[in-house]
Amino acid sequence: MEQNATHFAAPGAAAPDLPVLDYLRRQLAGTLEPGHRTPMRYPTAISRLLGFEIVEVGAGTATLRVLADTDLHGNQQGTVHGGFLVELADAAIGTARSTLVGPGESFTSIDLKATFLRPAWTGELLARAHPTHSGRTLTHYACEISRPDGKPVATVTSAVMTLRGDEAAGR
């Protein structure tokens, strides 16, 4: 369920958390104001470290971009490392899922499968994640990573479990 509720705080009170989707849309539009926050961390530490950037979000969807460089992200064959591609897809899937997190909820991946289709070298890689099936507790996602010529490099699928109540606490 998409949450687009507007939150108002009394003067001098801390602003309430924005729903993740609203927060990320404001971040992309450049309209985040001091005090705007969300219960999830954006950008994530791993995304900052690896240079991943969110470029588009919707309810349950996300597109991330990275400028790949085989001098930084390469394997022994001189192409972008498969583990780097999997982390990019996982970040896109996690971002997509986070846009639907409700109050008192969190989530965790329970599996992830990558299929590598062709090599990638230096240049922009885009990872587009979307749900393929949504249930009350499990949501299945697909993510396609494409290289600068638009050809797919890898497809990644993942099942994500929604955590509620005590299971979500501290996550």
Which pLDDT score is estimated for 16?
A: 72
Domain ranges of the chain: 20-167
Cα–Cα distance measured from residue 67 to residue 148, given in angstroms and rounded to the nearest whole number:
10
Cβ burial of 148 (10 Å; 0-12, 13-18, 19+) is middle
* Whether residue 18 has pLDDT greater than 50: yes
pLDDT (tens digit, 9 = 90+) per residue, 68-118? 999 999 999 999 999 999 999 999 999 999 999 998 999 999 999 999 999
Q: For the domain made up of 20-167, give the CATH fold.
A: Thiol Ester Dehydrase; Chain A (3.10.129)
- Tell me which residue of 88, 94, 25, 81 sits closest to 52, measured CA to CA: 88
Cα–Cα distance measured from residue 138 to residue 90, given in angstroms and rounded to the nearest whole number:
16
